[in-house]
Structure 1
Amino acid sequence: MDDVLSWGTIFGKVAVQFVPVWIALVVTYAVSITFKRRLGLYGKLFDSPVGMIGFGIVMFWVFTALFADQIITFDPLAQFSGMKNKPLGTPLAGAGEADYAWFLFGGDHLARDVFSRMVMGARSVLSIAPAATAFAFMVGITLGVPAGYFGGRLDTTLSFIANLVLAFPVILLFYLLVTPEIRLTGIPVILAAILFLFPIIFLTILFNARFFTDPKKRNLYVGAVLVIGLWAYSGLAFNMDPLGVWSMEPNLLNVFVSVVFVNSPTVFRIVRGIVMDLKARDYVAAGQTRGEGPWYIMLWEILPNARGPLIVDFCLRIGYTTILLGTLGFFGLGVAPDSPDWGSTIDDGRKTLNLFPHAAVVPALALMSLVLGLNLLADGLREESLRD
């Protein structure tokens, strides 16, 4: 056990640690391919080799985040004596019977296990990027659909605000919004109070428009949205959930709100442009002739026909957000100073890059592979949506 493991042995042991992920991937692919003709655009994705590869890479990291506690070999924050800057496959010094015997991807400059930090970093990234992007889409759709459909002063005003935000360089704006000093001004809480209302507004309008002629269903769905939405809103925006189910750390709130604020104007402009094109279609005129309300036409006639471009942009935007989160972590503005998120880990490894590159290269490759998977997935979805 005193010798460093060979490359083949290292990757074999790594593969064993990822067994829950391999099983989940096999089950996902088997079920998806079996029923792909019944699964709409998602099912058609499995007709595209590029889309299948991208989907596999993305789901690998999704399942890694879900099963991280079973995959990691050590506490990602723990430090181990004698393991500082150790190379890949180094045996753990003084390992007990209950300890895993190896640092599979070596140790960093603080003697922490690089493999475990890489695995847990997937959870850090994927707990923020998709959710924040979804919030940004709800903001952009809620504002972009009426702006494109009605036009006029509403469109002019909202477009001016969006252009005002987009006038700032994205990285600089992002950097300013997540600095610790900004938190003292209360701006993140104000932004959260505004932006976190949009999912509630969007879902309320969506169900009200769909079930307007069926008051029982409308009241049920709208009531559920308001109760659950306002409950979550009180906890996420103000940390005032009496049951303690919904909460967000101040650093996480900073980052989350910043992602939503920076992405929303771009989503708004994309949605606005699509709606302006689709509102001239025959099925919209037919809906107006039938006497359907404008919100029903916007959300249940136009929006479903815009799903292809929006789904593609959603995947790409998660990739952009992942890179932004990595950039913030690299600058020391991540969720927490000792967070295992990939950006922070790359920054930690940068300090010893010339002598011990593994501490920075491993999380950098993980970040690169996730973004690559999202881009390939978006390409596959775009290819299949054009055939739809």
Structure 2
Amino acid sequence: MQLEFIGPFEILLGLVYRFWPVWLALGILLALSLGFKRRLGLYGQLFDTGVGVAGVLICAFWLFTAIFADLVAPFAPLDQIFVMKDALPGAVEPETGRVFLLGGDKLARDVFSRMVYGSQIVLIIAPAATAFALMVGTTLGLPAGYYGGRVDTVLSFMANLVLAFPVILLFYLLVTPGIRETAIPQWLAGFFFVFPIVFFGTLFWTRFRSRPRLLAVQLAITVLLGGWVYLGLVFDADPLGIIAIEPNELNIFVAVVFASAPGVFRIVRSLTMDIQTRDYVAAAQTRGESPWYIMLWEILPNARGPLIVDVCLRIGYTTILLGTLGYFGLGLAPESPDWGTAIKESSRLLRAYVHPALPPVIALMSFVLGLNLLADALREQSLKD
């Protein structure tokens, strides 16, 4: 069957039109951010530089794309229209007249729609895994830097032991199919995912232990929410059925936390060793505050600048690692629309058909670029502070 095609200018207009919810959300975000930037603290200061604005807009673009994926994408990620196999950009689907704006892949799926839905996977796994790694590294790095001595020696040795492995090799060992069939990923998940509960429980205890009613409410919320997420992530037993994670997704999640937490640990440890010499820490010690109160409420808030910068960069690194794993076939399921898997699938016919590989590559590059720009702007602001 002979396919009809639209021109390059119409393709560009079609892409701009499909992203209309994203443009609307970006406009609202930009207007509110500029209007209230003096009240938004560190986030508002990002809009004082062009690098900061660019970083925020690029990251927000992909965030809103993931949120409004159902409105932006004209097809479902697994929809197959066999006449559109390896169709070039701008091909018109004969029956309905809908356009494959960026062409079709080797399984006759819309490349543009898969790129859009792939943003959902990347923006869930990378930030969430980085957040858990931040909790683990912070919870262990604070006492290592504050107490020193044997505590520091033992925890630093464990962190250096993990850092001694090449990252790709470490990921390969944790995500390889042989490990997936064992209980090791679930055990690691059970260990790592308890850290947020411990962190927030300790945070509220040290702050509100003199106000037992308020403390009881906060601890109850922490245990209930933390236990709910814990059951869903570790045992896939969410009683509400909201949190569900596939075994291969759990493996990747655990691998990211395991590989990233030691780096966060070293940063938090170094910051703690520096900040604990400040006068306000000595004042808190003179008042008789507990060590964990000082670590969580005096040291950690003053270490937030470098940590925020590191989180932005680490999300970018994690995104690249997810793409690398997908390219080597160690990522998500083969039918997944995530960008790494899409690049892998399209690379097999790269000499004949280039167009299926370009959208996920550009998406991956632009998202990481936005995170790097955001980190640069945050670093500049933190140095000023």
* Shorter-chain TM-score tier: over 0.9
- Cα distance per residue 1:107-163 (max 9 Å; x no partner): 111111100011011011111000000000000000001110111111100000000
1:364, 1:241 → 2: CA distance? 35
What does residue 348 of structure 1 align with? 345
Report whether the alignment pairs 1:177 with 2:178: no
**Cα RMSD (Å) of the superposition?**
1.2
What does residue 80 of structure 1 align with? 81
Q: Which runs of 5+ in 1 are unaligned?
A: none
The Cα of 1:20 is off from its aligned counterpart by 0.2
1:26, 1:95 → 2: CA distance? 36
1:60, 1:240 → 2: CA distance? 33
2:242, 2:117 → 1: CA distance? 22
SS of equivalent to 2:82: coil
What does residue 215 of structure 2 align with? 218
1:311, 1:341 → 2: CA distance? 26
1:232, 1:2 → 2: CA distance? 48
SS of equivalent to 1:112: coil
What does residue 45 of structure 1 align with? 46
SS of equivalent to 1:287: helix
What does residue 287 of structure 1 align with? 284
What does residue 20 of structure 2 align with? 19
Instruction: Say if 2:91 and 2:99, in contact at 8 Å, map to a contact too.
Output: yes
Matched AA of 2:26: L
What does residue 101 of structure 1 align with? 98
- Cα distance per residue 1:139-190 (max 9 Å; x no partner): 0000001110111111100000000111100011011111121022211000
Of 326, 330, 345, 2:327 maps to 330
What does residue 265 of structure 1 align with? 262
What does residue 89 of structure 1 align with? 90
State the TM-score, normalizing by the size of structure 2.
Answer: 0.98
What does residue 67 of structure 1 align with? 68
The Cα of 1:207 is off from its aligned counterpart by 0.7
SS of equivalent to 2:87: coil
Instruction: Say if 1:329 and 1:343, in contact at 8 Å, map to a contact too.
Output: yes
1:248, 1:13 → 2: CA distance? 34
Q: Which runs of 5+ in 2 are unaligned?
A: none
Question: What is the 5 A alignment of 1:3-14?
Answer: 3-14=4-15
Instruction: Say if 2:248 and 2:331, in contact at 8 Å, map to a contact too.
Output: yes
Question: What is the 5 A alignment of 1:131-142?
Answer: 131-142=128-139
2:324, 2:184 → 1: CA distance? 22
Instruction: Say if 1:259 and 1:321, in contact at 8 Å, map to a contact too.
Output: yes
1:304, 1:33 → 2: CA distance? 25
Report whether the alignment pairs 1:164 with 2:161: yes
Of 288, 292, 299, 1:302 maps to 299
Instruction: Say if 2:126 and 2:319, in contact at 8 Å, map to a contact too.
Output: yes
SS of equivalent to 1:306: helix
The Cα of 1:261 is off from its aligned counterpart by 0.7
Aligned residues: 384
Instruction: Say if 2:46 and 2:381, in contact at 8 Å, map to a contact too.
Output: yes
Report whether the alignment pairs 1:33 with 2:37: no
Instruction: Say if 2:82 and 2:107, in contact at 8 Å, map to a contact too.
Output: no
Matched AA of 1:332: G
Matched AA of 1:30: A
SS of equivalent to 1:82: helix
Matched AA of 2:324: T
The Cα of 1:231 is off from its aligned counterpart by 2.2
Instruction: Say if 2:332 and 2:341, in contact at 8 Å, map to a contact too.
Output: no
SS of equivalent to 2:329: coil
- Cα distance per residue 1:298-319 (max 9 Å; x no partner): 1111111101000000000000
State the TM-score, normalizing by the size of structure 1.
Answer: 0.97
- Cα distance per residue 1:17-42 (max 9 Å; x no partner): 00000000010111111111111111
Which is further off, 224-233 or 159-168? 224-233
Instruction: Say if 1:64 and 1:119, in contact at 8 Å, map to a contact too.
Output: yes
What does residue 143 of structure 1 align with? 140
What does residue 361 of structure 1 align with? 358
SS of equivalent to 2:5: coil
1:240, 1:89 → 2: CA distance? 44
Instruction: Say if 1:48 and 1:384, in contact at 8 Å, map to a contact too.
Output: no
2:259, 2:295 → 1: CA distance? 25
What does residue 315 of structure 2 align with? 318
SS of equivalent to 2:299: helix
The Cα of 1:242 is off from its aligned counterpart by 3.0
Which is further off, 290-299 or 361-370? 290-299
Percent pairwise identity:
60
SS of equivalent to 2:83: coil
What does residue 57 of structure 1 align with? 58
- Cα distance per residue 1:309-334 (max 9 Å; x no partner): 00000000000000000011111122
1:300, 1:172 → 2: CA distance? 37
Instruction: Say if 2:87 and 2:104, in contact at 8 Å, map to a contact too.
Output: yes
1:166, 1:316 → 2: CA distance? 17
What does residue 190 of structure 2 align with? 193
The Cα of 1:2 is off from its aligned counterpart by 5.4
The Cα of 1:241 is off from its aligned counterpart by 2.7
What does residue 230 of structure 2 align with? 233
1:303, 1:333 → 2: CA distance? 36
1:146, 1:34 → 2: CA distance? 41
SS of equivalent to 2:249: helix
